[in-house]
Every structure is written in structure tokens, then in C-alpha cells.
Amino acid sequence: MFWVRLMSSAVLVALAFLLLLPGGYPLGLAMCLLSLAAYRELMHACDTKKGGKSGLLEYVGYGGIALYYAALLFSGDFSLGLGCVVLLFLAEMFVYVFRFPHFEAPQVMTAFFCAFYPAVLFGFVYLTRELEHGIYLVWMIFISSWICDTCAYVVGMAFGKHRLAPVLSPKKSVEGAVGGVLGSALVGALFAGLFLVPASGSTGAVWATALIGAMGAVISQVGDLAASAIKRNHGIKDYGKLIPGHGGVMDRFDSVLFTAPVIYYLSVWLLG
């Protein structure tokens, strides 16, 4: 299992380079596909097909996600993308009303949540790449999530004594969480010194990026725990089997989803 997981991680890193470096339509399309896959995983995990009655709601969600990414890619206007999310909500309510009582309110609310969660948050990976110096800033999303995971694991194994979320994730420790935040801040600062400062000409980018890395690491751990909470609520171990050794898209990118919008807005505010 270790070697399978390692090989999958290597493939993911290679794909990240192939998509994040050019950005543009290939990255946007990849985020759309990941969103669709994650939406399917969440719909199944949340058991929205009670009595086999959620087919139409699920199809509306697929259409709404595709429309959202079409708006982002072809207009570059995030507000237009959010308008598509509003249309998705209205479409699902339309289905709810005119097929009543075929669908129940919890199904409709869950279907909208399952579409909004991955689609809008994955979209911030694309939006971050589109920023000035986005070719560098977009990597902070993954530094703040995957580097945080690694540092939290190492520090937690070495020094962990106080449980961070004893009921939800007994192995996670407060010490590990702090180590993850500090590790992300340090790697973010080093990354900025090597790439962002030469590109932007601003030495202040080092401190700003360290702060971005730290804040991103904090929220990434919340994202990890949130995805775990959903699995616990529905009695499943993994969201899927798409990524060997990791599970589904939601299993591998749970922290990235929460980190992406934080990195985007902090980058705009601190480095824009």
C-alpha cells in the first residue's frame, strides 16, 4: 500500500506541474473534471439516492458545475460564475417544486451542497493561477495543504500529546497542528525567496507569503477534518477509489479545497 500511495503521489505531482505551469484552459478543464468527480463522490456518500429518486437532481448538479466552469474559463468573471451557482440553486428548486413530492427537502439541500462544495472551491485554484505572479502563488495552495500534512504528521509522531479532535480524528494532535502551520510558513517563505521575490522585485513578499502559508495551513486542517466528519456521519472509510492508495478525489483534495479560496484572497490583499 505504501508504494502504491507513493506512486500515486508522484503521478499527482507530475500532473500538477503539467497543469499549473501553463494554467489557462487545461487547468480550468482539469478543475472542472475534479469537481464533477468530487460531486459524484459526495452525492453517493451523503446517500441522496434514497429510494433511487435523486437522478434528476444529480444531473442538474452536473450541468450546473459545467456551466460554472464555462463562465469562469470563457469570461474570466468570477461574479458571472457565481451567477451560474445561483442558477443551479434555482434549477434544483424548480425540480423540487414541479416534481413534488418526488423529492424531499433534505435531498435538494444536500444536492446543492454537494455541487457547491467542490466546484466553487476548486475554482479558486484556477482563479489563483490567473492572478499576477499566479504561476508562483498557485503553488502556495499545495504548500499550505500537503506540506502542512507532512509536517503535522512528523511533528505529531515525535511530540504529539494533546489530541486536536479526539472524537473525530484521534491521531491528530495540537503539537502536530502547530508543526504543520510553522512548516507551511517556513516553506512558503523559502519558496517566495527563491521564486516570488525575483519575479516581483519585492522583498516584503517573503513575509507576506509566510503569513499566507500559515493561514492556509490552519484552514487546510479544518478542511481535512470537515471531510472526515462527513465520512463519519455516513459511515464510510473513503469517498471513492479513483486515486490508488488515496481513495477518491475528496480524500486527496479535502484540504486543498479549503485552502484554495484562502490563498486566493490573501494573495489579492497582501500581494495585489
| 120 shares its domain with 242 | no
The CA distances from residue 150 to 114, 142, 147, 154, 177, in Å, are: 28, 12, 5, 6, 10
Per-residue confidence (pLDDT) for residue 112, from 0 to 100: 96
42 and 82 both lie in a single domain: yes
**Residue 238 to residue 253: CA distance in whole angstroms:** 12
Lowest mean pLDDT among 18-22, 108-112, 128-132, 161-165: 161-165
Query: Residue 262: left if φ>0, alpha if ψ -120 to 50, beta else—which one?
Result: alpha
User: Which of the listed residues 75, 109, 128 is the one where a domain comes to its end?
Assistant: 128
Residue 264 clears pLDDT 70, i.e. is over it: yes
Residues 166 and 223 in one domain: yes
Q: How confident is the model at residue 217 (pLDDT cuts 50, 70, 90)?
A: very high
Average pLDDT, the chain: 91
Query: Among 110, 128, 146, which residue terminates a domain?
Result: 128
Residue 50 has pLDDT above 70, yes or no: no
Residues 45, 1 within the same domain: no
Kindly indicate the confidence band of residue 53, based on its pLDDT and cuts at 50, 70 and 90: low
**Closest by CA position to 172, among listed 222, 233, 98, 101:** 222
Mean pLDDT of 93-121: 93
If pLDDT is split at 50, 70 and 90, which confidence band does 201 have? confident
Question: Is residue 49's pLDDT more than 90?
Answer: no
Q: Are residues 29 and 14 in the same domain?
A: no
Q: What is the pLDDT of residue 220?
A: 96
pLDDT tens per residue, range 227-254: 999 999 988 989 988 888 788 999 999 9
Residues 201 and 205: their CA atoms lie apart, in Å, by: 9
pLDDT of residue 48: 67
Q: Of residues 204 and 89, which shows the higher confidence score?
A: 89
For residues 80 and 146, state if they share a domain: no
Distance CA(252)–CA(69), nearest Å, equals 21
> What pTM, to 2 d.p., does this model score?
0.93
Alpha-carbon distances of 148 from 9, 38, 142, 220, rounded to whole Å: 15, 22, 9, 8
Note if the bond before 101 is cis, omega within 30 degrees.
yes
**Residues 69 and 193 reside in one and the same domain:** no
Does residue 225 share a domain with residue 173? yes
15 and 103 both lie in a single domain: no
For 8-73, the DSSP string reads HHHHHHHHHHHHHTT-HHHHHHHHHHHHHHHHHHHHHHTT--GGG--HHHHHHHHHHHHHHHHHHH
Q: State the average pLDDT over residues 159-170.
A: 87
Q: Domain range spanning residue 85?
A: 24-128
Residue 75 in this model has a pLDDT that exceeds 80: yes
Rg over alpha carbons for the chain, rounded to the nearest Å, is 19
- Alpha carbon distances (Å) from 234 to 48, 57, 209, 230, 231: 11, 20, 37, 6, 5
The total of structural domains in the chain comes to: 2
One domain, residues 121 and 210:
no
Which one of 80, 108, 128 terminates a domain?
Answer: 128
Residues 124 and 136 in one domain: no
Residue scoring higher pLDDT (116 or 55): 116
Same domain, 143 and 246: yes
Cβ(217)–Cβ(144) below 8 Å = yes
Measured CA to CA, the distance from residue 252 to residue 255 in angstroms comes to 8
Residue 2's pLDDT is what?
54
